Amino acid sequence: MVENLVIVESPAKAKTIEKFLGKSFTVMSSFGHIRDLAKKNLGIDIKNNFNPDYVVSDDKKKIVAELKKNVKEAKMVWLASDEDREGEAIAWHLAEVLQLDEKKTKRIVFNEITKEAIQNAIKNPRNIDKNLVDAQQARRILDRLVGFELSPVLWKKVKPSLSAGRVQSVAVRLLVDREREIIAFKPSSSYKTVAVFEVVDNKGKKVLLEAELDEKFNTKAKALEFLKACSKAQFSIEDVVTKPSKRSPSAPFTTSTLQQEASRKLGFSVSQTMTIAQKLYEAGKITYMRTDSVNLSETALKACKEVINKEFGNEYHNLRQYKTKSKGAQEAHEAIRPAYFDQETVQGSAAEKKLYSLIYKRTLASQMSDALFERTTVSIKVEGLPYHFVATGEVLKFDGFLKMYIESNDEESESDNLKILPPLTKNQPLNVKNITSTERFTHHPPRYTEASLVRKLEELGIGRPSTYAPIISTIQQREYVVKTDRDGSERNFDVLKLENKNVTELTEKETFNAEKAKLFPTDIGILVTDYLVDHFKDIMDYNFTANVEKDFDEIAEGKMLWTKMLDAFYAPFHKKVEMAIATRENTKGDRLIGNDLVSGKPIIARIGRFGPMVQIGQSDDEEKPRYAKLQPGQYIETITLEQALNLFQLPKKLGSYENYEVSVGIGRFGPYILHHAKYYSLVKGVDDPYNITLQRAIELINDKREKDKNKVINSFEYQKSEIQVLNGRFGPYICYNKENYKIPKNTDATKLTAEQCIDIIQKGASTTKTKKKRK
């Protein structure tokens, strides 16, 4: 017999809460939402006041049945879903589906999982807030309308199976807009000048003092002129200013800040972070990991204080209450923090340990004192010239929270590390050792990483903690975006150096624009974004979500009817959808680049069946058009005539070897040499497919043959075909009729007989087959 049935969203939460409540309480979990709009035919009756057709999802049928059974027996049902829009809706759906009797149902909320908070909640029940539920319904229905009306437009106009939505389309737009800024960016250079002086410190030892000029010269001539003037100049200290400065700790983690910090400090992807955090949560090590709140419970604040006082002393503790800065935060939970502060480390995988430690340190640091510095700025006069050199040094006076945690930055700072300056006095003359003027280039705005895109989305109030990771993977799955590295290019820069009254000039090399694990929009991503911005400007607006959120808030406050809001949105929106479908236009991104020098035919870049490509001539010409695929890094939008013509140079013949033709081309897996029906990969970063010689190609062929010799362990003839025992990446395997088979463990592959191989082939499932099935 169940006396009191409490229903929460998460099973891990249910387990914890059950401990806090007496035996008369049974706690179950709904596993999030239990029903959703029907998937067929929109799931909304638009003409009938947007009447939603809700269906219990297949994977929730079992849990709903179990809940029903327990509800029947219970004297009182407590709906304890989260205290936000979605949580309120979950409570309402539960009440509807379980047909709860109003007299036997209470709605309770708590945003921290402590005994006190829960008992308090039980003492203060309320009813379901229907206005808040309506706000959720409006949100849900609007998202369905946008997603299920826009996506089919793309299927018709661009390509099947594409998708669009309030959140994902704007996320892609952020990347596309940034990419355009990068394309338009023209780097400029200026000369940064640094002087090294020799100073005697208080022990009589010679030390070096580095100072930067307060002026950057935009031409080499000006920098040279300055250095020459310096060769005759006197230097002296003009001023020494010492000021105290401080740094404060950051707020405890939310989902988004945890994702950013784990990405920067531990190199985790956004989804990796969430999977690891989920494990820690389920093991009871940390509080809930999908939250937008920076709030810590009273119990947590007290525990932090105790640990800090004990470990470091009172002077290191500083009680801080943080306030959220993000738009649309709903704060149904606490910040992400350790469940117990006496555990500095946890058992588990290396990744779990690292992430836990990050959370532990960040939480404690957030309750610690400011770090105090003394910042000294020294200004150095150049006699007779209107410029100054400036040196800054910092001395740490009190480490405070830095004892625990140092937050990282996206931008690597060049000269921000702590420097201690030697003692210096005003008017003190200085000996210059050397002065260097180095050419520095401006950088394009940075491309987004997964984590920095999440930060931007949060800033715009787009998406929720539970959806950041899925958004990132959706836009990659749809191939609007790829996460990849890119090799930089090389460039020269000038270094001018004055030493011993002599100016020398040097040219040095640097790589620039190299990228690591960055998000790049694809041609499809660019095309779809342009199309949507053209036809659905308001939905693609960065403020669209923020604007509809205002309406949802009004609905939640009972000031607006949800059906009215949807009406006002849908009528003009649907008109645009119909117009978009009705207009005939070119949406394959066709771009005329120029004309072929030989045939005079037009060269067009466009999206083809297999992705972005260029073609010479039209398909209705007498002669078939020639096609070539774009290379990584090339865009329909920016490819030049020269680059396009270059693509048509391949495949080309290099000559012959052993009486067979040798040719070079670029395939799906990069540049290759083709010889006697066999392919040989070019070496990345060494060989250039456009300029490779026959001699080098032959070298590659022979290299590969040498390698392959070691690949074959044994081979047998079987049913007019060959069974091969091969050495692969993951150890030995059997290959027969182009299919691969696993060799059982603890088998010596070199001693396998033909009979044993046949046996394995007949019994064992081919690994190549399963792969194909998955696709």
**Binds DNA (CB under 7 A): choice among 155, 340, 512, 660:** 155
Q: Which of residues 88-107 bind DNA (CB under 7 A)?
A: none
Report whether 290 contacts 329 (CB < 8 A): no
Q: Does 53 bind DNA (CB under 7 A)?
A: no
Q: Does 144 bind DNA (CB under 7 A)?
A: yes
Q: Does 37 bind DNA (CB under 7 A)?
A: yes
ω into residue 651 within 30 of 0, thus cis? yes
Report whether 285 contacts 339 (CB < 8 A): yes
Q: Does 732 bind DNA (CB under 7 A)?
A: no
- Size of residue set near DNA by CB under 7 A: 79
Measured CA to CA, the distance from residue 561 to residue 565 in angstroms comes to: 6
Nearer to DNA (CB atom), residue 285 or residue 320: 285
387 among known catalytic residues: no
Nearest-approach distance from CB 714 to DNA, in angstroms = 21
Report whether 77 contacts 5 (CB < 8 A): yes
Q: Does 337 bind DNA (CB under 7 A)?
A: no
The partner residues of 431 in beta bridges, in order of sequence, read 198
Nearest-approach distance from CB 392 to DNA, in angstroms = 44
Nearer to DNA (CB atom), residue 203 or residue 668: 668
Q: Which of residues 368-427 bind DNA (CB under 7 A)?
A: none
Helix (H) or strand (E) segment spanning residue 705: helix 694-711
Q: Does 348 bind DNA (CB under 7 A)?
A: no
Nearest-approach distance from CB 334 to DNA, in angstroms = 12
Q: Does 12 bind DNA (CB under 7 A)?
A: yes
User: Distance between terminal CA atoms of the chain?
Assistant: 49
Nearer to DNA (CB atom), residue 137 or residue 436: 137
Nearer to DNA (CB atom), residue 189 or residue 768: 768
**Piece of 143-151, 233-241, 355-363, 571-579 that binds DNA (CB under 7 A):** 143-151
Q: Does 523 bind DNA (CB under 7 A)?
A: no
Q: Does 39 bind DNA (CB under 7 A)?
A: yes
- How are beta strands 4-8 and 76-79 bridged, if at all? parallel
Nearer to DNA (CB atom), residue 6 or residue 213: 6
Q: Does 157 bind DNA (CB under 7 A)?
A: no
Nearer to DNA (CB atom), residue 61 or residue 751: 61
- How are beta strands 76-79 and 105-107 bridged, if at all? parallel
Q: Does 340 bind DNA (CB under 7 A)?
A: no
**Piece of 81-89, 444-452, 488-496, 701-709 that binds DNA (CB under 7 A):** 81-89
Q: Which of residues 458-487 bind DNA (CB under 7 A)?
A: 462-467, 470-471, 474, 478
**Binds DNA (CB under 7 A): choice among 151, 434, 476, 643:** 151
**Binds DNA (CB under 7 A): choice among 11, 125, 602, 764:** 11
Nearer to DNA (CB atom), residue 208 or residue 683: 683
Q: Does 629 bind DNA (CB under 7 A)?
A: yes
Strand, helix or coil for residue 717 = strand
User: Which residues have C-beta within 8 Å of that of residue 61, sequence separation ≥ 6?
Assistant: none
Say which of 54, 191, 281, 288 is annotated catalytic: 288
DSSP 343-412: -SS-SS-HHHHHHHHHHHHHHHHTTBPPEEEEEEEEEEEETTSS-EEEEEEEEEEE-GGGGT-----SSP
Listed residue (342, 379, 344) closest to 359, CA to CA: 344
Q: Which of residues 673-702 bind DNA (CB under 7 A)?
A: 674, 679, 681
Report whether 753 contacts 743 (CB < 8 A): no
The partner residues of 390 in beta bridges, in order of sequence, read 212, 379
Nearer to DNA (CB atom), residue 14 or residue 224: 14
**Piece of 421-429, 499-507, 536-544, 606-614 that binds DNA (CB under 7 A):** 606-614
Nearest-approach distance from CB 479 to DNA, in angstroms = 11
Q: Does 733 bind DNA (CB under 7 A)?
A: no
**Binds DNA (CB under 7 A): choice among 21, 55, 117, 152:** 152
**Binds DNA (CB under 7 A): choice among 445, 594, 633, 670:** 670
Q: Does 770 bind DNA (CB under 7 A)?
A: yes
Nearest-approach distance from CB 620 to DNA, in angstroms = 7
Angle formed by the axes of helices 130-157 and 85-97, nearest 10°: 100
Q: Does 10 bind DNA (CB under 7 A)?
A: yes
**Binds DNA (CB under 7 A): choice among 386, 427, 669, 685:** 669
Nearer to DNA (CB atom), residue 241 or residue 592: 592
Nearer to DNA (CB atom), residue 41 or residue 507: 41
Cβ-in-10-Å burial (0-12, 13-18, 19+) of 421 comes to buried
Q: Does 167 bind DNA (CB under 7 A)?
A: yes
Nearer to DNA (CB atom), residue 602 or residue 651: 651
Measured CA to CA, the distance from residue 540 to residue 424 in angstroms comes to: 58
Q: Which of residues 312-331 bind DNA (CB under 7 A)?
A: 330
Nearest-approach distance from CB 31 to DNA, in angstroms = 4
Measured CA to CA, the distance from residue 443 to residue 520 in angstroms comes to: 17
Nearest-approach distance from CB 272 to DNA, in angstroms = 14
Report whether 507 contacts 547 (CB < 8 A): no
Q: Does 455 bind DNA (CB under 7 A)?
A: no
Q: Which of residues 566-605 bind DNA (CB under 7 A)?
A: none
**Piece of 68-76, 102-110, 193-201, 667-675 that binds DNA (CB under 7 A):** 667-675
Report whether 50 contacts 6 (CB < 8 A): no
Tokens of 621: 């010409």
Question: In angstroms, what CA-CA distances link 171 with 445, 448, 460, 471, 551?
Answer: 17, 11, 10, 8, 22
**Amino acid at residue number 101:** D
Q: How far is CA 726 from the centre of its chain?
A: 39
Nearest-approach distance from CB 237 to DNA, in angstroms = 58
Q: Which of residues 251-290 bind DNA (CB under 7 A)?
A: 278, 281-282, 288, 290
Measured CA to CA, the distance from residue 2 to residue 683 in angstroms comes to: 70
User: Which residues have C-beta within 8 Å of that of residue 705, sequence separation ≥ 6?
Assistant: none
Listed residue (574, 577, 551) closest to 564, CA to CA: 551
User: Which residues have C-beta within 8 Å of that of residue 466, sequence separation ≥ 6?
Assistant: 255, 290
Positions marked active-site: 288
